[in-house]
Structure 1
Amino acid sequence: MTRILLLNSGPHSDASYGYRLAREAIAASGIDNVKITERDLVKSPIPPIGRDYAMAITSQTVADAEEFAWSERLIAELEQHDMLFIVTPMHNFTVPAALKLWLDHVIRINRSFSATPEGKVGWMKDRPTFVLVSSGGFFAGERAKQADFLTPYLRYALGSIGINDVHFFPLQGLVFGPEAVAQAVNTAHKQLSEKLSLTSASLAR
Structure 2
Amino acid sequence: MKTLIINTHPDFSNENHFSKRMEGMFLKLYYDQFPGQDVDILNLYDEEIPQITNEQLLGIWNKQVAGITLSAEEQRVFELNQKLLAQFKEHHRIVIVAPVHNFNVTSKMKDYIDNVLVARQTFRYTAEGSVGLMTDDYRVMLLQASGSVYTNDDRYTPLEFQRTYLQAMFKEMMGFDEFSIVRLEGTQTSGVDVEEATEAARRDLEVEFGKFYK
Runs of 4+ in 1 over 6 A off after TM superposition: none
Work out the CA distance in 1 between the residues paired with 2:155 and 2:12.
26
Two-structure CA RMSD over aligned residues (Å): 2.6
Work out the CA distance in 1 between the residues paired with 2:177 and 2:212.
15
Deviation, 1:41, is 0.9
Match of 2:58 among 36, 39, 54: 54
- Residue equivalent to 2:146: 135
- Residue equivalent to 2:21: 20
Q: Which amino acid aligns with 2:12?
A: S
The answer on 1:188 being equivalent to 2:191 is no
Work out the CA distance in 1 between the residues paired with 2:191 and 2:3.
30
What's the TM-score once normalised by structure 1's chain length?
A: 0.83
The question of whether the paired residues in 2 share the 8 Å contact of 1:49 and 1:104 is answered with yes
The question of whether the paired residues in 2 share the 8 Å contact of 1:126 and 1:163 is answered with yes
Work out the CA distance in 2 between the residues paired with 1:111 and 1:189.
35
The answer on 1:38 being equivalent to 2:46 is no
Gaps in structure 2 of 5+ consecutive residues:
none
Q: Which amino acid aligns with 2:175?
A: G
The answer on 1:75 being equivalent to 2:85 is yes
SS in 2 for 1:76: helix
- Residue equivalent to 1:148: 160
Superposed CA deviations along residues 90-134 of structure 1, whole A, max 9, x for unmatched, are 112211111111001111112222111222212224422110111
Deviation, 1:22, is 2.6
- Residue equivalent to 2:121: 111
Question: Which structure has the bigger radius of gyration?
Answer: 2
Superposed CA deviations along residues 133-169 of structure 1, whole A, max 9, x for unmatched, are 1111122234663611221111111121222411011
The question of whether the paired residues in 2 share the 8 Å contact of 1:85 and 1:131 is answered with yes
Gaps in structure 1 of 5+ consecutive residues:
none
Work out the CA distance in 1 between the residues paired with 2:155 and 2:19.
19
The question of whether the paired residues in 2 share the 8 Å contact of 1:83 and 1:127 is answered with yes
Q: How many residues are treated as equivalent by the alignment?
A: 198
Deviation, 1:44, is 2.7
What's the TM-score once normalised by structure 2's chain length?
A: 0.80
